[in-house]
Amino acid sequence: MTEAPLFDGPLFPLADFAIPEGVAHVCAGGETACLRRHEAALLRYLRDKSSGLKGRDAQEAQIERARAGIARLWNTDPGSIGFVSNVAEGVSIVAESLVFQPGDNIVVDANEYPSVAGPFLKRVALRQARGTGVDRFDGLVDARTRVIGVSYVSYLTGERFDLVALRKLADRVGALLIVDFTQASGYLPIEAGIADFAFSACYKWMLGITGVAIAFWNRARQPNWAPVSAGWYSFEPGARGYDTIPPLRADALRFTRGNPAHAPVYVLAEALDYLSTFDMRAVQAHVQGLTTDMLARLQALRIPVLTPADPARHGASVCVPSPRAGDIVRALGEQGVLAWNGQGRVRFSFHGYNTT
């Protein structure tokens, strides 16, 4: 194994973040540290909310600012970006729009996050890819597969999936590819167009907060898609009356049934502007340098991990299985190391503010 480079200095200036001195914040897979500029963003939202119609215009401007920021980050156009409250809501809107026949199935990894698999559980047969083989989806996908659902990077193990291979697999049988970018967006370069639909929470590596999530609609691949239910914000502005069904918005804001969560959108827009000052390839190199270094150290100590060693197959997290994970994370916290517990493993997740 080639020795990993040591990143003794942070990529992001530490002064930009609300991290107490002496704390190692290595839990980005759960929650990242907040940017200090978020306080001003929230205050700006409160002022705009108190400003009547002029303030609503300002809120709409922040929505477009955030959409443009996501489009930059995901290499797509702003019209392909809408907002939902969380990933599960977005996946549910797509799931509800599909008509399944007896014998149809969807395919997910056995360790897939519930927000991707859950919306389908009572509607269609679920096939689970088990094990760690890179080709474990292949034998499960057939002519009756309607959806392949996948997190680009696994929340449980830190494994990164080959989306190009899954796209080819989906195209072979005419299935949708639905991708959750939550554990990837903000440190990995994203090509949203590989998916038919994609979603992401915003409070992890994208440096936002809870309350809003991204919904991507690939209009080139699925030009005729429409949700089966809508709210006032989903319709074209100015639509009135119900003698005929009001037209849906022509872009991905048809995902958004009511007002987007404006306060989180203000924060997200600020975070995306911050991230835009860094090349995602540099962020990826930084965090994967840290993961590769930690994996090598754990291997030297003969400590087992769930995360693949190959940098092409992992993201920004290192996951260590242990029946004592909760105790370990609490003990680390007492020493100023903020890791994450859950599902019988300790997860260490890095971002640009971390160093060796």
φ, ψ of residue 39 to 5 degrees: the values are -60, -45
What is the per-residue pLDDT for 239? 74
Nearest to 182 by CA among 130, 79, 112: 112
76 contacts: CB under 8 Å, gap ≥ 6 = 70, 192, 193, 216
Q: For the chain, what is the mean pLDDT?
A: 96
Return the structure tokens found at 9: 């200095």
- Tell me the CATH number of domain 41-275, given options 3.40.640.10, 3.40.50.720, 1.25.60.10, 1.10.10.10: 3.40.640.10
pLDDT one-digit tens code per residue, 22-40: 999 999 999 999 999 999 9
Q: What is the pLDDT of residues 97-140, one digit of tens each?
A: 999 999 999 999 999 999 999 999 999 999 999 999 999 999 99
Q: What is the pLDDT at residue 4? A: 39
Lowest average pLDDT, out of 1-10, 21-30, 84-93, 272-281, goes to 1-10
What is the topology classification, in CATH, of domain 14-36+280-349? Aspartate Aminotransferase, domain 1 (3.90.1150)
Query: Which single residue is written with the structure tokens 């689970």?
Result: 128
Q: In this predicted model, what pLDDT tens digit does every residue of 279-301 receive, in sequence order?
A: 999 999 999 999 999 999 999 99
| Structure tokens belonging to residue 234 | 């989903």
The secondary structure of residue 243, as a DSSP letter, is S
Residues of the chain with pLDDT > 70, as a percent, come to: 98
Q: Where do the domains of the chain lie? A: 14-36+280-349, 41-275
Q: What is the pLDDT of residues 307-344, one digit of tens each?
A: 999 999 999 999 999 999 999 999 999 999 999 999 99
CA angle 32/33/35 to nearest 5° reads 120
